[in-house]
Structures are given as structure tokens and as C-alpha cells.
Structure 1
Amino acid sequence: MKSKILAEDQHILVCFKPPGLAVQSGRIGEPDMVSELKNYLGGRNPYLGLVHRLDQPVSGILVFAKTPQAAAKLSQQAAAHGEAPQGGKNQTGKQKKNGNQKPGKEAIPSMEKGYMALVYTGTKRDGTATEQIHQIQESVQEPGLDEERNEIRRKEIKLVDYLLRDVGQNTSRVVKADIKGARRAELLYEVVEKKDRQALVRIRLLTGRHHQIRVQFANAGLPLLGDARYGTEESREYSAEKGYGNICLCAFSLSFYHPATGKRMDFQLEELPWIKNN
């Protein structure tokens, strides 16, 4: 089984999805997570509720429901955005030991997903790309201290665009706001590390659009390494040189409230997938 199980009980199944494996495939004979996990659960057509997805080339943590009741509650959390309190530091790859915080009476439980990506910073063009790369340099060189959380706080940079999806081509692109069908896309990112012509960034999605992270960073002149679809000739050549065969984008952390107990569950990967081969 290509999927890796991180946690399981009678209500939920938390797994790591490797790059290249579809969450649910419509193609006959093509492996996917749903089929793998149903085979793992055994029995005749076991229930497995699909709560959220990741694009096939993208890796990361996903939670599945093992009962319809759990699926309903988790789906409500996945639909909410940023309304639940933020947790503290996570244990890597494990549920946080003191993760027993319950949402207050007025809190709306929300599923929180954190992404990490490697972006190419060697783009040679004027405009937005130059501005974003300049901000990256500043955010790395002048970090601040968040005393409350006792950790380094770097400058968060916001990207705001309007995206138009082409269903037939399975792509999205940045367009003007007044284009029919365009949807506003927002994200925040901070730079964790920069070296050579690449930067490691931590991303918070404020909206959930088709291929949002890949399209917005490409439009900003910072294409994701390993991204053949939205990358530039320069970024593709650099990716090949460095051995990045898959998209360097990972949903590395996931937090939600347990559908039965209400306890906060926090998960984080020990290592980013592309580190193993580079």
C-alpha cells in the first residue's frame, strides 16, 4: 500500500498521500487512496467517507471518515475557514499529546491545513516577480520573534488574484476580476529558508481554488519546483538539475476536531517528501 496510515480509530483514518497517487481515480486499473484504504479495511464494501482532496501530483496528510456521522462532522469543519483557535506546536507525524482542546460554545470548529512548497526564485523578468523576490529576501534577512509562541516570526506575504478554471483542460489561470467565471483567490506565505535559486515557503490558504497555490505562485514569478504544467522553462531545467521529479508541494500539517470526542487532533509530517531524494 502506497498510503501511510498515521492514526486510526473507529471513527477516523488519518493518512499520508504520496505524490503521484490519486485520492480517487475514475480510470479503470489506476491505483488510488480510496481503493487502497477500502482493501485495508476489509469486509464487503466498507464505508470510507472522503472529506477533502489533494491534487494527484501533490503529497500530504488527509483524514477519512469511517462512519457517515463522522463524515458529516468532518465535512463541516473542512468547509469552515480559519474560525477555530490555532493549536500550539505539533509532535512530528503524531497526534499532539496535549491535544485535548475542545471548541468553545461560540467557536465554529474548522479544519486547518498547512502547506510547504519549494519555489524557484531565479525568474528573470520585471514586475510582480521582482517585487515578490525582493520581499522574500527581506523576510529571510529580518525575522522577528513571536514572544507569545516563542518562535521566529517571519514576514507574511499575501497574494491576491482572480482565477478562471478550464475544466476541459484541467487548468486554471489568472485573469482580470471582471472576467465571467473568475473567482477571487487569496493566500499568505512566509519564507522559511532560501538558498541558491530556491526558497522553502510555508503557505496558508484563505480560499480554496483549483490549483490555487501552483497558479498564484507561477503568476508571481515563483513557480513551484517540479511543476511541469505551470512551471517556466527555467524552473523546469532547474528542477531537472536538482532531481525534483515531483511537484514540491505538500500538505504537511492537518488539524481538526475529533468528530466523536470533540478533542483537537494535530498532525505534522516528520520530513518533507522531496528531502529524501535531495
Structure 2
Amino acid sequence: MKVLVPVKRVIDYNVKVRVKADGTGVDLANVKMSMNPFDEIAVEEAIRLKEAGKAEEVIVVSIGVKQAQETLRTALAMGADRAILVTAAEDVHTDIEPLAVAKVLAKIVAEEAPGLVIMGKQAIDNDMNATGQMLAGLLGWAQATYANKLDVEGDAATVAREVDGGLQTVKVTLPAIITADLRLNEPRYASLPNIMKAKKKPLDEKTAADFGIDVSPRLEIVKTSEPAERAAGIKVGSVDELVAKLKDVGAL
């Protein structure tokens, strides 16, 4: 069974995001970029399936700018077998929308015929949380989102999902789409020898036009702004004063 893992290049989660002075978007100049953390968890889970003998090949794919090659090489260094880069934008500030990504992925799925697609539940840059669901809809496949635990046996996968108030266990028939949540696993660090080996692993380059997909944005970003600064707290001298302040939220 092949496992396909889509990955996205995003601003590193340790970096403090800055908004451009003119409010047209986020400043990416000289900013460290890395693999979306949820996608990294998905890559790790796919590799574990291969190590357990439940998958034969792990393919990673990224849709975006040419610089996403670095992200794919990271996934290859972790243990993925080969990669596909679909160049769909020239400007690093251009974010390909979920529906366009899902359409491209659907074409790749048709070519590669994986038995399972594992992907992050959302990207930390736009927090859309839509690509996996859209892909399942386009393919007509079963889906299990927010995976906390995954067990593949034969032609079915049992998934413990993180839901409000606890965990929900579902069983889906393969092929299926699984989206990874934070507690699914702890991704490994790529060793130096594996980083060197990753440079020789196959990385195919394609464009969105090769699949006949129009990735033109349907949404227009009108303005980007910093979140409002949190107001300073106050000290109260007694429980009665605290209760009075809580009654009048505007006074806090």
C-alpha cells in the first residue's frame, strides 16, 4: 500500500509573525520557514506504518512555491521514499487556497493510487482546516479527521478522533483520508546521514497547469492587522470587589 502525505511550507512556529507596514499581508523577508507541524506528524505516522510493514511506500507532496523543495527534503530525510513538488505560485506571499490544493491532490491520487492519504488537520498559517475534507469529498473517500490514534489492519483503519469532551473511535474502509491532530505522535529528528541520503531521493517537479487546475484565488485579502494588545490586569482588595467587577465586565 502506498501512503500519500501532503506537506506545506509555513513560517516556523517559533517565529513571531510580523504584519507588513501597509497591512497587505505578513512579512516573510528573512523569516525562517519550516514544515507545518501537523504535516510533520502526518509524515511520522506514515513512516511508522511503513516500518510496521503496513505500507510499502511513503510519498510526500507539496503544492506552492519552488522553495517548498526544502520542506520535501526534510520529509525525505525523516524517511519518506520520494517526493512530488507542484509549483503553483511564484511569489512566496501567495497562499494556494484549500479547494485548489484539494483539486491538485485529487489528480495526484488518481495517478499514484495510494491506499491512504495522511495529512495535517490544518496549516498553522491560515488555519483553514478544510483541505482534507475537500479532498475526501472530491474523491468520494471515507475520512477520519483530528486523529489521535491510528491503527491500520487489512482494508480498514480504526481512528481515535479528538472531539469536544473526549475521544471518538471510528472505523473507515480504505482508501481513506486521515487528518492528524497534535497528539497522534512525536515526530522524529532527521539524522545527518539521512539528510545526506535525502538529497539523492527522487523529487519530481510539476506545475498546477500540468494537471489542468486553475489555482487563481477566489478570496481577496482586504487587510491584515496585528491582534489587539491585551489590556493590563488589575488587583482587587476583596472578594466583594471581585464579584462587583465581574458583574461589570466593562470595568475590568
Structure with the larger helix share: 2
Normalized against structure 2, the TM-score is what?
0.25
Q: In terms of Rg, which structure is larger?
A: 2
Question: TM-score, structure 1 length as denominator?
Answer: 0.23
